[in-house]
A and B are shown apart, each in its own frame.
Chain A
Amino acid sequence: MASHYEAPIRKPLIIGEKSYHDISVDVAAPVEGKANKLWWIVFSISLSAFLWGLGCIFYTVGTGIGVWGLNKTVGWAWDITNFVWWVGIGHAGTLISAVLLLFRQKWRMGINRSAEAMTIFSVMQAGLFPLIHMGRLWNANWVLPIPNQFGSLWVNFNSPLLWDVFAISTYLSVSLVFWWTGLLPDFAMLRDRAIKPFQKKIYSLLSFGWSGRVKDWNRFEEVSLVLAGLATPLVLSVHTIVSFDFATSVIPGWHTTIFPPYFVAGAIFSGFAMVNTLLIIMRKVSNLEAYITVQHIELMNIVIMITGSIVGVAYITELFIAWYSGVEYEQYAFLNRATGPYWWAYLLMMSCNVFSPQFMWSKRLRTSIMFSFIISIVVNVGMWFERFVIIVTSLHRDYLPSSWTMFSPTFVDIGIFIGTIGFFFVLFLLYARTFPVIAQAEVKTILKSSGENFKKLRDGNEH
């Protein structure tokens, strides 16, 4: 037991009298059981939203981008807002599984699997928007440097939009293999428990024949560590490059050097909020309260509070620098942002992103599950509006007052956005029913150090 020592001051991460076998049973239960009525209801709603969005996508591609609310002045609006919003949400998964692994934070183990699933599903939603915006989806391969018959028609490596292609595709694919490698031992557990031949076949296929030899585990841990080391700068680079899409332009309100750290903080902020939204529901529905504890929620709330405050500092810095620069175009862009016709969006952004996370200073509020859930929704609304404010308010009053205008979305803009929310939940709900939603092999490694019963046993012995 001595090798499993953990300071008594640390609260247990696994609640109750659990054994290794109990962990397998608890993680396998949602997969082996039947879906209840509520799951089917939520799934049907999500699927309908997804199909509606798919219809809107077909309509856009069939008719043209003109069906969106874009105009001559505001050439970028909901599409890029949604893109940045979804990419940002994705960041929490990598932060939890990679950065917290490097810092040896054990509390990541209860939530990393679902957070990574969220990453992959939300980056998939994000990727849809640039693809649709191309108009001719079937030519999407033109963004890659592939030798072609159009003379020497190459892509432009000076363009931040192309950097984004590389960043997002690297991010999506590396996150996917990171996730899948971690899943192998857990799929193997489900495979070896499966009684129905079809289930056994499926999980056998998914587990790649994982057997759990000593050498396999040795490589597994090394690969996880190196992938975490690679994914950490990768995730920071992704939102940095997303911010370059704006920061390297010459639009007042966009070309600010503060964008990379400001966007990364915002991404972590909204991503942790989404993890909270999803896991507060999942821990209840899948009976995983022993593994995703109130302490997990509290720690995520603290991250939300800190990153929310960083975002707040960034907002204020932007305003200050706009004034301090002495450039009247820059000054007007920010004055217009806060007091112009989109003042309500700015106010919503400020109150949701800077004001609301400050409640988390209170221990009572940040350990309240209901309150955490509400704040997690509020934060994601706020972060959507942040991107909307940055993008639309910087564009809608451009250099020529005669072309000043407003942006209003059409039903197609709204439909595609709702469709991606539906698609995201369709994927997540299917995942919650078929995948081991907790990295059970990893959780078993901390049972003796951080399990409630083992901690009690050890504390009892010491006195």
Chain B
Amino acid sequence: METSTKKIHALYNDDDVLLHAIKDIRKKEYKIDEVFTPFPVHGLEKALGVPHTRLAYAAFFYGIIGLSFAIWMMNYIMIEDWPQNIGGKPNFSYFQNMPAFVPVMFEMTVFFAAHLMVITFYFRSRLWPFKDAENPDPRTTDDMFLVELSSDGNEKEIEEFLKKTGAVEIKLIEN
């Protein structure tokens, strides 16, 4: 790859200044690699052009899996494998005995949707125990907002521009 590529870290101390800066940087067509923020800044992903997460759709499918599993399991246990006469309830047909199965069908739907969605989130965002944090500056979990840019030889120019956007601190990182 290009040997002259350098990383620039620009730190901002206000979310509104950050939002304006991101819009300006994008207009200039400098390449933003990543932004680290201490809390969710609304409108930031839109300003960066980051597509919205599809986790909600995933959760919906996980829920359907949970519901199907619950139906399959209770049909096998209560109807196929060992039907019993419990208070005269219809033990030959899942559908006719279904009112009694609704609570568990609901719980399993929620169980699968919630847990599988969270697991998907943790894996997609690479979050798990013993994983090292990757925010370049510890202040980004407190009150600082960090924009990471990459340059190809024009660091000086970018630096000047970032100062104008309101960055309070600019660092050059040699690769």
Contacts and interface: CB of A to CB of B under 8 A. Distances in A.
Interface of A: 1, 3, 19-21, 24, 145, 152, 154-160, 162-163, 166-167, 170, 173-174, 177-178, 181, 184-185, 188-189, 191-193, 204-223, 225-227, 230-231, 233-234, 237, 241, 244, 441-442, 444-445, 448
Interface-centre pick from B113, B118, B134 (highest chain A CB count, 10 A): B118
A263 to B, nearest CB: 14
A145 B107 CA distance: 14
Interface stretch (B30-38, B152-160, B164-172): B30-38
A442 B39 CA distance: 7
A223 B45 contact: no
Given A185-B39, A209-B128, A20 B142 contact: yes
Contact of A209 (B82, B127, B139): B127
B135 A212 contact: yes
B37 to A, nearest CB: 6
A92 to B, nearest CB: 19
B118 A177 contact: yes
Interface in B128-146: 128-135, 138-143
A123 to B, nearest CB: 14
A219 B123 CA distance: 11
A154 B80 CA distance: 12
A3 B129 contact: no
Interface residues of B, number: 66
A204 B126 CA distance: 14
B162 interface: no
A184 B74 CA distance: 36
Contacts of B48: 214
Nearest to A180: B118
B104 interface: yes
Contact of B115 (A155, A177, A188, A219): A177
Contacts of A181: 118, 121
A213 B135 CA distance: 8
B139 to A, nearest CB: 7
Contacts of A156: 84, 86
A356 to B, nearest CB: 33
A3 B16 CA distance: 9
A210 B39 CA distance: 12
